[in-house]
Homo-oligomer: A and B are copies of this chain.
């Protein structure tokens, strides 16, 4: 079974693409994965199952020759059908061609056992990509910096682009990586604003990364690769298809820590990305817009039907990332707390059952509203009171 062994100069090409040492076994495995990326459409779960069971190389043998040795979880008929999909695509020339193009255009090649492989993609399980073809910084996708997918419709309004620009500029200026899909509209605005802010941005393409799509964004995609990375899972030269766009969306959702839909119509493709984010258990946000704007109908749908968090500012996105504001040092606040008569009067004017607005507390305590509010603020820092829309309430405190 030497048919899936790389030739000596293919080994050389692979080495230049992945910057690994001369680990012949690892390179043969990488070669098999590249072959797989030619044979399958993105997200092919049968291939995923086969590779998980046998390893990329043995799985190729099973794909080519069938046989009884198929791993558990794949029915013989299922494998037979999959082989019919895969085998017509087998072409050593095409594989070699993609490696040559990749080397010529300075691409990087990442596989799951590379240090630079983004661990987050593991959440895609059997639907993870075989390899990633990267234009730009091969370390960007595995960066430990927090990342946010800012996505939305191609047919964006100036409102949507405005919000995308504001969010991208502010988030990327604070070190957050902005992930998107390089499309017209919201995606382009998010990438551009990140570049303008000197931040890092990653674009996931549906086709080969040597084929900028849309063509009108060729310059933008070039600039993204210079300040971050442009990534695809299909081999160089591959055309973007509708299926590949939908599968590309799963990569956006998987590579970003949170996904925010900035502006999307009722049937926008970005809802598909949002669905992937939700399925992966990633936090999902949506920016509302005028209900009179069809361009925001998809965002509102996410808020209504899919429990997306309402995003109005970059801080809301940070909260979704789990980055909370520096927590109050309550112990210190407690030590500093003034124990004046005023504090006692405000405390006595509060109830533990009923919410009271500060004017009511002022009335009951015989103090001015401004004084009362200052004291309430200190009591809140000390964890003695809580505030809601209905007003203020005393909390049961220990040791009082």
List the interface of chain A (C-beta within 8 A of B).
45, 159, 162-163, 242-243, 246, 271-272, 274-276, 278-279, 287-292, 296-297, 300, 303-304, 306, 309-313, 316, 354-355, 357, 359-360, 388-390
Which residue of B163, B292, B360 is within 8 Å of A291 (Cβ)? B163
Given A271-B389, A289-B291, 14 more pairs with CB closer than 8 A: A242-B359, A272-B389, A275-B355, A275-B388, A275-B389, A276-B390, A288-B291, A289-B290, A291-B313, A300-B310, A300-B312, A303-B303, A304-B309, A306-B389
Minimum CB distance partner of A298 in chain B = B389
Name the residue of chain B whose CB is nearest to the CB of A296.
Answer: B288
B389 touches A278 (CB 8 A): yes
Q: Contact partner of A357 among B246, B288, B312, B357, CB < 8 A? A: B246
What chain B residues lie within 8 Å of A297 (beta carbons)?
312
Known contacts A288-B300, A303-B288, A360-B243; is-contact A390 B159 (Cβ 8 Å): no
Copy tally for this chain in the complex stands at 2
**Nearest 5 CB-CB pairings of A with B:** A275-B389, A288-B288, A303-B310, A291-B312, A304-B310
A to B CB contacts below 8 Å, 23 in the list: A45-B354, A159-B290, A163-B291, A163-B292, A243-B359, A243-B360, A246-B359, A271-B389, A275-B355, A275-B390, A287-B291, A288-B291, A288-B296, A288-B300, A288-B303, A289-B290, A289-B291, A291-B313, A300-B312, A304-B312, A304-B316, A306-B389, A310-B310
A390 in contact with B279 given A162-B292, A291-B287, A291-B288 (CB within 8 Å):
yes
| C-alpha spacing A310/B304, complex, angstroms | 5
- Per the bound structure, the CA–CA distance linking A159 and B296 in Å amounts to 15
A160: min CB distance to chain B, Å: 10
Task: Please give me the residue from chain B that is nearest to A278 by CB atom.
Answer: B389
Complex interface: chain B residues within 8 A of A246 (CB): 357, 359
CA gap between A353 and B322 in the complex, in Å: 31
Nearest Cβ in chain B — how far from A288, in angstroms? Answer: 3
- The chain B residue sitting closest to A319, CB to CB, is B304
Q: Which residues of B contact A287 (CB under 8 A)?
A: 291
Residues in B neighbouring A163, C-beta threshold 8 A: 291-292
- When the two chains form their complex, are residues A288 and B275 in contact, meaning their CB atoms are under 8 A apart? no
Chain B contacts for A355, CB-based, 8 A: 275, 279
Closest Cβ–Cβ distance, residue A141 to chain B (whole Å): 23
Cα-based distance from A389 to B287 in the complex (angstroms): 18
Which residue, of A271, A274, A287, A304, has the highest number of chain B Cβ atoms within 10 A? A304
Please name all residues of chain B whose beta carbon is closer than 8 Å to the beta carbon of A357 when the two chains form the complex.
246, 272
User: Do the beta carbons of A292 and B159 come within 8 Å of each other?
Assistant: yes
Cβ contacts under 8 Å, A316 to chain B: 304
The answer for the CA separation of A275 and B292 in the assembled complex, in Å, is: 26
Q: Given A272-B389, A276-B390, A304-B316, answer yes or no on A310-B288 (Cβ-Cβ < 8 Å).
A: yes
Residue in chain B with minimal CB distance to A308:
B310
Residues of B within 8 A of A389 (CB): 271-272, 274-275, 278, 306
Instruction: Select A290's contact among B243, B290, B304, B359, beta carbons within 8 Å.
Output: B290
**Which B residue sits closest to A275, measured CB to CB?**
B389
Query: Which B residues lie within 8 Å of A360 (CB)?
Result: 243
Chain B CB within 10 Å — which of A45, A292, A296, A310 has the most?
A310
CA distance A243 to B313 in the complex (A): 33
Specify the chain B residue showing the minimal Cβ separation from A303.
B310
Give bound CA distance, A274 to B390, whole Å: 9
When distances are taken between beta carbons in the complex, the residues of chain B under 8 Å from A359 are: 242-243, 246
Q: What residues of B have a CB within 8 angstroms of the CB of A309 in the complex?
A: 304
Nearest CB to that of A287 among chain B residues?
B291
When distances are taken between beta carbons in the complex, the residues of chain B under 8 Å from A279 are 355, 390
